[in-house]
Amino acid sequence: MTNYYIEQENKIVLFDTDKQKLINTLLFIPQYRGLEIKETEKEILYRNNKFVFANEIQDELLAEAKQVKTEEINNSKETAFKAGFYFNNAHFDCDDRAQIRLSAQLAISKQEDTIVWLDYDYNPVTLTYEQFVQMCAVATSIVSNIEFETSELLAAVDNAQSIAELELLTVNYNAVVAQAEQYTESEDTNE
């Protein structure tokens, strides 16, 4: 599409896709009357209170889109951690604090111990030592897989050359959690 525009001091001050409409507009803006009407096939956008050629701001727009996508990925990661996971029909935390508590309890537990652990809603759940070890393994697997997926997504954001590439990146940690939970269920049925 052809755009017609008028520049003053290397800044686009008026533009339209209809040349006659631009000529008519000049009748009411005397300070621009003597300026040349130029034409281009480049897209013209209104950005930050000024008209600019779209290709001149693509890098800026891409950087902004990358920042938005990075925030989306990091927020989704934190949401996935806060959502927790299911083990033996109970819902458990897997955020940073839960990981610390699980590691500490695992370090002090003995194989003959029965462990009473609080679920997501602070209800006590009694687990054998083996179940507790397996629950810790599931939580660790979920956290490490979410972190790995996050690093892959953030690398893809950094390497994206266009906004269209960024839009193709989807963030869904549910599959990571479901895979770890499914592994646990298959382990339980094998016993």
Residue-wise pLDDT for 66-76, tens only, equals 999 999 999 99
- 49 pLDDT above the threshold of 90: no
- Alpha helix positions (H), 84-170: 96-108, 129-159, 163-168
64, 144: one domain: yes
pLDDT band of 189, cuts 50, 70, 90: very low
- Give the residue-averaged pLDDT of 19-29: 92
pLDDT in tens, 112-169: 789 999 999 999 999 999 999 999 999 988 998 899 999 999 999 999 999 999 999 9
Based on C-alpha coordinates, what's the Rg of the chain? 29
CA-nearest of 133, 135, 130, 129 to 114 is: 129
| Within a domain: 49 | no
DSSP state at residue 123? -
Q: What is the model's pLDDT at position 179?
A: 72
The answer to the question of residue 86 being in a domain is: yes
Task: Give the pLDDT confidence score for residue 183 in this predicted structure.
Answer: 57
Residue 75 and residue 36 share a domain: no
Position 175 scores a pLDDT of: 76
37 with 61, same domain: the answer is no
Average pLDDT, the chain: 88
Q: Indicate if the pLDDT at residue 185 is higher than 80.
A: no
Give whole-number Cα distances, 138 to 53, 144, 175, 185, 191, in Å: 52, 10, 14, 11, 17
Exposure letters 152-173 (e unless 16+ CB within 10 A, then b): ebbeebeebeeeeebeeeebeb
Task: Say whether both 21 and 108 belong to one domain.
Answer: no
Do the beta carbons of residue 184 and residue 127 sit within 8 Å? no
Provide the pLDDT confidence category of residue 102 given band limits of 50, 70 and 90.
Answer: very high
Is 103 within a domain? yes
Q: Do residues 88 and 122 share a domain?
A: yes
Q: Is residue 47 domain-resident?
A: no
Structural domain range at position 30: 3-41
pLDDT at 135: 93
Q: What is the DSSP string of 147-185?
A: HHHHHHHHHHHHH--SHHHHHH-----HHHHHHHHHHHH
Tell whether 30 and 88 lie within a shared domain. no
Look at residue 136 and tell me if it is in a domain.
yes
Same-domain status, 136 and 165: yes
Nearby residues of 94 by Cβ (< 8 Å), 6 or more positions away: 81, 84, 85, 139, 142, 143
Question: Can you give the pLDDT at residue 190?
Answer: 44
Q: Please give the span between the terminal C-alpha atoms of the chain, in angstroms, as a whole number.
A: 68
pLDDT reported for residue 184: 55
48 falls within a domain: no
CB 177 within 8 A of CB 83: yes
Task: Record the tokens describing residue 121, joined without a space.
Answer: 């809603």
Shared domain for 183 and 118, answered yes or no, is yes
Q: Are residues 169 and 110 in the same domain?
A: yes
> Is the domain of 25 the same as that of 98?
no
Regarding whether 68 and 37 lie in a shared domain, the answer is no
Split into its structural domains, the chain has a count of 2
Q: Is 50 among the domain residues?
A: no
Model confidence, pTM: 0.66
Whether pLDDT at 100 is above 70? yes
- How far apart, in whole angstroms, are the C-alpha atoms of residue 70 and residue 72? 5
Do 147 and 89 share a structural domain? yes
